[in-house]
Amino acid sequence: MESLQNKFMIKDVKRVVAFFYLVFSISFIASGTLLKAEQETLKTHGFNFFGELKYPPDFKHLDYVNPNAPKGGEISIWGFGTFDSMNPYSRKGRAASLSSAPFESLLVETGDEIGSSYGLLAESIEYPADQKWVIFRLRKEAKFSDSTPLTADDVAFTYRLFLEQGLPSYRAVLADIVQDVEVLGPYAIKYIFTEKASKRDAIPIVGGLPVKSQAWFEKNQARLDESRMEPAIGSGPYVLDGFEINRWVKYRRNPNYWGASLPINMGRSNFDEIRIEYFADTNAAFEAFKSGEYTMRVENSSKSWATAYDFPALTDGHVVKKLMPDGGIANGQSFVMNLRREKFSDIRVRQALSYLFNFEWSRESLFYGQYARINSFWENSDLAATGMPSAEEMVLLSPLEGDLPAGVLTKVAVMAPVSGAKPMDRANLRKANALLDEAGWPVGDDGLRRNANGNTLKIEIIEDSAAFDRIVLPFVENMKAAGIEAEYDRIDPAQYTDRTRNYDFDIITDQFPMSYEPSSGLKQYFGSETADDSVFNSMGLKSPAVDALIEQVVAAENKSDLKVAVNALDRTLRAYNFWIPQWYNDQHRVAYWDMYEHPDEIAPYDLGYLDYWWYNEDKASALKDAGFLR
């Protein structure tokens, strides 16, 4: 399992990033379909900051869905490890997979546009041209799953809840943007923005909050920052049906879901039940899929994809195996060094470690040639920095020269070292040795490197998945060959969660999922202000230059300026060498029992198997009658 998709599904902090927090990095402002009111107030059904919305106000359904898709059946997937919480918005506990699914926001994205979003709980929005404030008009038919109305009071309560009890890194962003909130009536709420609020961020940030029931939180005396097994109620199409810790969790479609007939929802949320089966290791999970214990699998192991899909159900045509296009940016998966540790304070140590990981050998020997190397935080897009800084980049970078890492202004963008066909590349080992010597870590008589205080250069990699053993162990051996006292420690998921959230590690594998239109969300990943408490800034980066460049990205008012600012930021981040980038694939590897169907063309930015795929009752019955499925 070279990708961490399933790990982060059950870890859910990062899965929530994809579902919730990263929506704050996507920006959208009123399109060309705006209607002017008397006081120069603009009114619209959706947002896109850099261009026109694809869908007009009277659209019937999204282009990539089947509006006539039947409802019914069950889809089941797998989760890694276990869970001990049904609250995905807290650092405490391990949230169950998809525990954020019951909640909806005022605005929602689609899977076929970049930077566009449309009203979901909000019927419309209104704001002046200078965007000093925004009014959301809520849909009067919106209800929570207990049939109580969803009102502007709930939206205001949600804002205050996240401001007071949300993740610290997000609280800081929210406080910078919102000055005040006013409830104008049962179904109207007004946000007033601060002077420094970004026009590109303010509306989508407040529009992206997952709305909570004030009555439920007050009745249960619940907090957003606590770990609990009782889930808060939401307004979404799915509700929790049941769970057994260490084994499974199941969600069912709410037959009384208020928004089923909205155009934005047509052809979506088609399964009656979504079930997640939990397994302690990837091998057990794969065997369970082969025997039909769960029915849908996005394959994250190149080895399994190349060698393991030869079981009878597949060869007999009962299981479908296919590649499907993925138009998204690479997920930024990488080995990440903890800059809070003194041993990583010298960039030469970090550069040396990059030379000791052999991607080329790993790709051919371990990954069956299926992956490309990640070099950029925006890999697979034109936002990735290339070559020397452009003249436009230099305008942004030159004033920051004193705070930039060496070489940003004078060298090409940092690329990952290229290695040879053997596990240990001797040329790269020599380069690593030279860097470590220069950094004050010479090799002693016992073959170990020590600093002036006599301390060995000890580096530990922690991991909670056995699937990474074959990848990490050769890396550890290369570090040992360089005189590093290297250690690989595979620990249980609960311990891994505790150590990573408390920054008790040297190196971990992490992800940095970026967007095509990044903005204030960058502060949670790379900003100095939240580096000591953000779950996303795992390396603990604090850089005045990066902070300044993030502000340039946030301030960009057209795509050209945005591209220049992101190129400059990407170039600078890479020059810090706090990561050793790993790999990505531009295709989804999907296997499923042959009872699901999907549109001929899937959304370019959303595989959507839990969203707009559907269940074929006849195929499912045939599989069950034949004894393949329970």
566 lies in the same domain as 617: no
Task: Classify residue 77: in a domain, yes or no.
Answer: no
* CATH code, 569: 3.10.105.10
pLDDT confidence of residue 534: 87
Task: Classify residue 479: in a domain, yes or no.
Answer: yes
569's torsion region: left (phi>0), alpha (psi -120 to 50) or beta? alpha
590 lies in the same domain as 580: no
The pair of structure tokens assigned to 307 is: 């060698």
Task: Classify residue 94: in a domain, yes or no.
Answer: no
The number of angstroms, rounded, from the C-alpha of 375 to the middle of its chain's C-alpha atoms is: 18
250 lies in the same domain as 119: no
106, 171, 177, 306 from 164: Cα distances, Å = 20, 7, 15, 49
pLDDT digits (tens, 9 = 90+) for 528-564: 998 998 889 999 999 999 999 999 999 998 999 999 9
485 lies in the same domain as 559: yes
The number of angstroms, rounded, from the C-alpha of 372 to the middle of its chain's C-alpha atoms is: 20
Task: Classify residue 216: in a domain, yes or no.
Answer: yes
Q: How far apart are CA 22 and CA 173, in angstroms?
A: 13
CA nearest to 190, candidates 258, 131, 230, 139: 131
Dihedrals φ, ψ of 590, to 5°?
-120, 135
Cβ(443)–Cβ(483) below 8 Å: yes
Chain mean pLDDT for the chain: 91
pTM above 0.85, yes or no: no
pLDDT digits (tens, 9 = 90+) for 102-146: 999 999 999 999 889 999 999 999 999 888 999 999 999 999 999
284 lies in the same domain as 295: yes
The number of angstroms, rounded, from the C-alpha of 550 to the middle of its chain's C-alpha atoms is: 19
Q: Provide the domain limits for residue 605.
A: 238-327+586-625
322 lies in the same domain as 343: no
426 lies in the same domain as 554: yes
Task: Classify residue 74: in a domain, yes or no.
Answer: no
pLDDT confidence of residue 461: 98
Task: Classify residue 560: in a domain, yes or no.
Answer: yes
**What angle separates helix 469-481 from helix 347-356, to the nearest 10 degrees?**
120
pLDDT digits (tens, 9 = 90+) for 465-514: 888 999 999 999 999 999 999 999 999 988 998 999 999 999 999 999 99
How many domains does one find in the chain?
3
Task: Classify residue 197: in a domain, yes or no.
Answer: yes
pLDDT confidence of residue 51: 74
Mean pLDDT of 172-188: 94
395 lies in the same domain as 413: yes
458 lies in the same domain as 342: yes
384 lies in the same domain as 323: no
Chain length of the chain: 630
143: three-class secondary structure by DSSP: strand
pLDDT digits (tens, 9 = 90+) for 272-329: 999 999 999 899 999 999 999 999 999 988 889 999 999 999 999 999 999 999 988 9
pLDDT confidence of residue 343: 97
Residue that finishes a domain, picked among 220, 250, 267? 220
Task: Classify residue 98: in a domain, yes or no.
Answer: no
Cβ(384)–Cβ(570) below 8 Å: yes
125 lies in the same domain as 110: yes
The pair of structure tokens assigned to 449 is: 């490197």
* CATH code, 296: 3.40.190.10
57 lies in the same domain as 175: yes
